[in-house]
Amino acid sequence: MRRLRIPDGTPEAQYRHAGLLAVQVCLLLTTACTLALSGPLRVGPTDQILLTLLLIQHTGYVLWLRRAPHQFQLIGLLELGGELLAATYRMHQVLLVDHTAHGLSGYSYWLALPYIVASLALPPRAALAVSGGYLLVLVALGAAYWTHPDVPHGLRQDNGNAWLQMLLMHAALLTVITLQQHLRLRYALAVTRAERRSAQALRDPLTGLPGRRALDDWNRAPGRTHSVVYFDLDHFKRVNDTHGHDVGDDVLRHVARAARATLRTDDRVLRWGGEEFLLLIRGDAGAARAAAERLQTQLRSHRHPVAGAITLSCGVAQLAPHETLHGALRRADEALYAAKRAGRDTVEVAA
């Protein structure tokens, strides 16, 4: 059963939900129009009752899809089951009981609908199996009609071509839908892979933090103050020389974890390169300085198990109203060097 289930919340599920909703809305409108024109169209009382029941059913499905989109597959399967039973019963009655194909002129247009619903409610292989089985049933009914001894020869001749053309159209439609599903899945897979590669390209593989290329995606909220904290690890070369690069890499991961733990929801941390990091703060220079000092406090209270105490030198710059981010980074870099000249393990705010 898991193979038949389509995971909720995925783009695939959203696509299928939207498709089923569109089908139900179209069926609802078509049924309502037919019922409204039942007089001029000379629709019999029995068919009017059936149309009313269909109108109620499609209205219920539309409301159900709107209120419980995660149940789209159940709704699709219910719709598919009803269509398969109705089509099989109707064609059996028309061909093998009434021995006439006059019903093909109207109802036959709806015989292709199960292929579309199956493609939306089921994964590709299951949809192909159900649709193929349905097509074989139609072929069997047509063959039974053609060979039935009670059907006059002339009637078989008159309706045989229409039945054959309908079956060929169904086969073509089923082929197109199957190919379309295959191509759509390949397209979705290609998009997923491209997004994954793009995310990997924007993310630092060592620390898991966004890299400097992710800076282009930072959206500055209009009307809000923003600041940056540019910092690096004090005496990091000494850590590598004393303990080796493996420990140095672990120290960088240690700092990245500490930064994540101390930042607010709206703030971000990036690895700029080497032992340099960048905090993007939504707030003024005071908020940025407080973020930098929280990070310093966190590292003092959580020493690295091998390298010991890790200290930071930080430069803070608040973005001016019309200043570019790169301009603020340049001033933060100058403040960082001022922090180093002041003896390291400190925070300096750019003028």
Over residues 241-277, the pLDDT tens digits come to 999 999 999 999 999 999 999 999 889 999 998 999 9
pLDDT at 100: 64
How does DSSP assign 107-162, residue by residue?
GGGGTTHHHHHHHHHS-HHHHHHHHHHHHHHHHHHHHHHHH-TTS-HHHHHHHHHH
Predicted confidence band at 7 (pLDDT cuts at 50, 70, 90)?
confident
| CB 89, CB 71: distance < 8 Å | no
In angstroms, the CA 105 to CA 107 distance is 6
Residue 349 has φ and ψ, to the nearest 5°, of -105, 130
In angstroms, the CA 33 to CA 37 distance is 6
Interval 88-98 mean pLDDT: 81
In angstroms, the CA 66 to CA 77 distance is 16
Helix, strand or coil, per DSSP, at residue 206: coil
Considering Cα of 333, then 208, then 309, then 267, what sign does the dihedral take? positive
**Rg of the chain over CA atoms, in angstroms?**
34
Q: For 99-117, what is each residue's pLDDT tens digit?
A: 665 545 566 778 899 999 9
In Å, how far are 12, 54, 110, 149 from 79, measured between CA atoms?
A: 19, 11, 13, 35
Per DSSP bridges, beta strands 347-349 and 312-318 are parallel
In angstroms, the CA 130 to CA 88 distance is 13
Q: Is residue 348's pLDDT more than 90?
A: yes
In angstroms, the CA 12 to CA 35 distance is 35
Which of the following CATH numbers is that of domain 212-349: 3.20.20.60, 3.40.50.880, 3.30.70.270, 3.10.129.10?
3.30.70.270
Residue 16 token pair: 């299928």
In Å, how far are 75, 92, 137, 293 from 164, measured between CA atoms?
A: 32, 16, 14, 80
Q: For 146-189, what is each residue's pLDDT tens digit?
A: 888 877 777 777 777 777 888 889 999 999 998 888 888 788 77
In angstroms, the CA 42 to CA 19 distance is 32
Strand partners, 308: 304
Interval 57-74 mean pLDDT: 94
Strand partners, 314: 231, 347
Q: Which is more confident, 100 or 98?
A: 98
How does DSSP assign 235-256, residue by residue?
THHHHHHHH-HHHHHHHHHHHH
| CB 118, CB 108: distance < 8 Å | no
In Å, how far are 28, 31, 83, 103 from 55, measured between CA atoms?
A: 6, 6, 14, 21
Tell me the domain boundaries of the chain.
Answer: 2-199, 212-349
Q: Is residue 80's pLDDT more than 70?
A: yes
Q: Which is more confident, 331 or 220?
A: 331
Tell me, what amino acid is at 13?
A
Q: For 187-213, what is each residue's pLDDT tens digit?
A: 877 777 776 666 655 688 899 898 887
Interval 19-43 mean pLDDT: 89
Predicted confidence band at 132 (pLDDT cuts at 50, 70, 90)?
very high
Q: Which residues contact 261 (CB under 8 A, 6 or more apart)?
A: 298
Q: Which residues contact 231 (CB under 8 A, 6 or more apart)?
A: 276, 277, 278, 279, 292, 295, 312, 313, 314, 315, 336
Predicted confidence band at 219 (pLDDT cuts at 50, 70, 90)?
low
Among 284, 282, 291, 283, CA closest to 314: 291
Q: Which runs of E-coded beta strand occur in the chain?
A: 226-233, 268-273, 276-282, 312-318, 347-349
Name the DSSP letter for residue 184. Answer: H
